[in-house]
Amino acid sequence: MKPLIVSIVFVLASSASASAQAMSTTEYQAFLKILDSKLPEWNRSVSYMDVRKLSVPYRQGKVVADAQTMVLKNLEIIHKCVDRETNGHRRLSNEFTLYQSLEDVASGVETMIDNLPDSAEAGRWSGSEGLPLFRDIMLSYVKPLRDNIDAYADELQDRAERCSR
C-alpha cells in the first residue's frame, strides 16, 4: 500500500500550480460546506476500525489506536475551523489550520493502514474505508486548499504592496 500512497503524494507535489487562483468567497464557502458534510462520514470510517478486535502485538495496536485518536481529534478541529470560517470573516490563519489538520488526518489514516495486520478484517477496512478516505482527503481537499492558500496569500501580499505605494 505504501507505493500507492507515495504515488498520490508525488502527484500532488508535482502538480502544484504556480498560476492557481484563490477561490472566490462563494467558491470557498461551497468548498467548506462540502468539506463539513464529509466529516461525519470520515468520522464513521475511522471509528469503524476496532483496534481491540485486531490480532496484533500491544505496541502495534497502540500505534493504530493513537493514530485513530489523533485523526478523530483533527476532524473536530476541522469542524471548528469550518464553523469559524463560515460564520465570520475569512482568515488565512484558519485556512492554514484547516490545511494542517487535513494533512494530519491523512497522515493518521496512512499510519493506521501501515500498521494493520494482514487479516481479513484489517484488509477490508483498509480497502473499503482507509485508502478511499486517504485518497479523498488528499485529492479533493488538501491539494485544492493548499492551492487556494498560496493564491490567497499572494493576493493579500499584492494588496498590501499596492497599499504601501
pLDDT of residue 19: 57
Q: In whole angstroms, what is the distance from residue 132 CA to residue 124 CA?
A: 12
Q: Indicate whether 8 belongs to any domain.
A: no
Q: Residue 158: which domain range? A: 24-163
DSSP conformation class of 55: -
Please check whether residue 4 lies inside any domain of the structure: no
Q: How far is CA 134 from CA 21, 139, 152, in A?
A: 25, 8, 25
Q: Is 159 exposed, middle or buried (0-12, 13-18, 19+ CB in 10 A)?
A: exposed
53-80 tens-digit pLDDT:
888 899 999 999 999 999 999 999 999 9
Does the reported pTM lie above 0.95?
A: no
Residue 9 included in any domain: no
pLDDT reading at 162 higher than 70: yes
For residue 96, what pLDDT is reported?
94
Asked if residue 40 belongs to a domain, the reply is: yes
Residue 19, in any domain of the structure? no
pLDDT given at position 133 = 83
Is 66 contained in some domain? yes
CATH number for the domain harbouring residue 100:
1.20.120
Angle between helices 2-14 and 92-114 (to 10 degrees): 160
pLDDT in tens, 69-118: 999 999 999 999 999 999 988 888 999 999 999 999 999 999 998 888 88
* 15 domain-assigned: no
pLDDT value at 149 more than 50: yes
Domain-embedded: residue 142: yes
Query: Does pLDDT of 35 surpass 50?
Result: yes
Q: What digits encode the pLDDT tens for the residues 116-142?
A: 888 777 787 878 778 888 888 888 899
- Which of 146, 152, 150 has its CA nearest to residue 24? 152
Say whether 19 sits in a helix, a strand or coil. Answer: coil
Look at the chain and report how many structural domains it folds into: 1
